[in-house]
Amino acid sequence: MQKKITLTEAEIPESWYNIVADMPNKPLPPLHPGTHEPIGPEMLMPLFPMELIKQEVTSDKWVGIPDEVREIYKIWRPTPMFRATGFEKLLGTSAKIYYKYEGVSPAGSHKPNTAVPQAYYNKQEGVKRITTETGAGQWGSALSFACQMFGIECDVYMVKASYEGKPYRKIMMNTWGANVYPSPSERTQAGRSILAKDPNSPGSLGIAISEAVELAMQADDTKYALGSVLNHVLMHQTVIGLEAIKQLEKAGDFPDIVVAPFGGGSNFAGIAFPFLRYNLEEGKSIRCIAAEPASCPKLTRGVFRYDLGDTVGMTPLLPMYTLGHNFIPAPIHAGGLRYHGAGAIVSQLLNDGLIEAQSFKQLECFDAGIKFAQSEGIIPAPEATHAIATVIKEAQRAKEEGTSPTILFNLCGHGHFDMGAYEQYLSGKLVEHEVTQDEILASLAELDTPLITNS
């Protein structure tokens, strides 16, 4: 049996797949945060280059990948796929388990798949500087790398708690030439207003987004980039699933279940949407499962309604499964995936019953990650361990039901910068955590945004 399934450079996809073309119910439009009226593409022009705005709203099924982007993709793409023979043996499962490994990129995750085209289109349209936010540092490093490839300045607002706790991610960004600021900062109105209320604020993704967006709005030669949630970001990630289809074909297999961890939805979309196409077009019934933390469970315990993408209210309202834009996961949660909401496309698919979601507590996730590292060798990013926990659960279910499904999951990154979290787990300091219903209800009670009624 072949363990590693590779492709040639010529097999890097030539187009991204846009699932909007095949969705039975299209995602609802973004709304103006003040008037609650649908916004036109022109509202996004201060933030994004025109080509990305077009991609955000297009319903074309395929969007060509520029040659310049494919050239840079060749540094790490096509990424390998593995049959998880060691892991299967450890689990004693009759399921066949495959994983696509995105940790081979320069930044160590799937995020450069969209950072590179985003930097490219900004460069094409004369943008000199890109601002962004980062939590754990994965997106900030991916964008720093991509901006360096095209000679663009990159300013990263890094959640203060991570800035202080993960110095090596910051240095990685500096190495690629980016400026990194702890958020909340004194550099923006948004940051100053948060600091006035709480000088010791540890920051959050929502606050850092407000800062980066504010700065991009102020200067003509500066734009903003987001590493997840938005339609164009999800579409760029479909190179993962499109390659995976070819690799499984080579292995003579096809998945019954596709699994990925879920933060804002980009790596899930990346691996799952090209397979969902078979469900939507050909009536196949592949189960696509998004795996999220019990500490930030927007898909399994949030509500589907309009909410802000940030904390201060600089972004449009998006239709999403959300825990409320003020929701901040408990600091003891170590597994990432801390964003309060989900992208509009993924939210619509979940609402329509076309995808599934499961949540896992952190000890189960780290236990799964260590089992995986010890049987397959690769140390997964804490985010990815949510997918591995899901795979273990599905393998268990298969055993009970006497079935032998083929399971594919996205190993979206390595955990080399997350040894702090592994250290906590291995030394027994990591405690179990699940958000309470009262905490969720309190956060949702702060929302005054429009509800979505199912037509």
Ligand X SMILES: *Cc1c(COP(=O)(O)O)cnc(C)c1O
Task: Classify residue 46 by burial, with Cβ atoms within 10 Å: 0-12, 13-18, 19+.
Answer: middle
> Is residue 275 part of the contact set for ligand X (CB under 6 A)?
no
Q: How far is CA 46 from the centre of its chain?
A: 24
Taking the least distance from each CB to ligand X, the nearer of 53 and 337 is 337
Among 154, 317, 323, 381, binds ligand X (CB under 6 A): 381
Is 178 strand, coil or helix?
Answer: coil
Taking the least distance from each CB to ligand X, the nearer of 222 and 266 is 266
Pick from 175, 172, 171, 194: nearest CA to 183? 194
Residue number, nearest CB to ligand X: 263
DSSP conformational letter for 318: E
Closest CB 227 distance from ligand X, rounded Å: 6
Six-digit token string for 223: 């734009």
Strands 153-159 and 406-411: unpaired
Taking the least distance from each CB to ligand X, the nearer of 7 and 337 is 337
> Is residue 109 part of the contact set for ligand X (CB under 6 A)?
yes
> Whole-angstrom Cα distance, residue 61 to residue 47?
25
Closest CB 269 distance from ligand X, rounded Å: 8
Each residue 338-377 as x (binds ligand X by CB under 6 A) or -, in order, gives ----------------------------------------
> Whole-angstrom Cα distance, residue 254 to residue 259?
14
Pick from 78, 74, 126, 89: nearest CA to 1? 89
Closest CB 327 distance from ligand X, rounded Å: 16
Taking the least distance from each CB to ligand X, the nearer of 96 and 111 is 111
Six-digit token string for 247: 């690799």
> Is residue 413 part of the contact set for ligand X (CB under 6 A)?
yes
Closest CB 55 distance from ligand X, rounded Å: 16
**327 CB-near residues (< 8 Å, 6+ apart):** 296, 340, 440, 443
State the alpha helices, DSSP H only, in 259-343.
266-282, 298-301
**Footprint on residues 230-259 left by ligand X (CB under 6 A):** none
CB under 6 A: which stretch of 299-307, 309-317, 355-363, 380-388 binds ligand X?
380-388
> Is residue 113 part of the contact set for ligand X (CB under 6 A)?
no
> Is residue 297 part of the contact set for ligand X (CB under 6 A)?
no
- The residue whose two tokens read 């959300």 is 322
DSSP conformational letter for 44: G
State the alpha helices, DSSP H only, in 125-204.
138-150, 160-165, 167-175, 189-197
How far are the Cα atoms of 36, 295, 435 from residue 442, in angstroms, in the given order? Answer: 23, 15, 12
Six-digit token string for 67: 């040659």
Closest CB 295 distance from ligand X, rounded Å: 14
Taking the least distance from each CB to ligand X, the nearer of 271 and 407 is 271
Among 188, 266, 322, 348, binds ligand X (CB under 6 A): 266
Closest CB 381 distance from ligand X, rounded Å: 4
Closest CB 332 distance from ligand X, rounded Å: 19
CB under 6 A: which stretch of 162-170, 203-211, 262-270, 316-324 binds ligand X?
262-270
> Is residue 264 part of the contact set for ligand X (CB under 6 A)?
yes
**Footprint on residues 139-198 left by ligand X (CB under 6 A):** 139
> Whole-angstrom Cα distance, residue 391 to residue 259?
7
> Is residue 228 part of the contact set for ligand X (CB under 6 A)?
yes
Within 10 angstroms of residue 265's Cβ, the number of other Cβ atoms is 32
Among 138, 141, 144, 247, binds ligand X (CB under 6 A): 138
Three-state secondary structure along 86-136?
HHHHHHCCCCEEEEEECCCCCCCECCHHHHHHHHHHHHHCCCCEEEEEECC
Is 59 strand, coil or helix?
Answer: coil
> Is residue 79 part of the contact set for ligand X (CB under 6 A)?
no
Among 383, 421, 443, 444, binds ligand X (CB under 6 A): 383
Closest CB 262 distance from ligand X, rounded Å: 5
Residue by residue, DSSP assigns 390-428 as HHHHHHHHHHHHT---EEEEEE-BB-TT-HHHHHHHHTT
Closest CB 1 distance from ligand X, rounded Å: 28
Taking the least distance from each CB to ligand X, the nearer of 267 and 358 is 267
Closest CB 18 distance from ligand X, rounded Å: 17
Positions touching ligand X (CB under 6 A) are 109, 111, 138-139, 228, 261-268, 337, 381, 383-384, 412-413
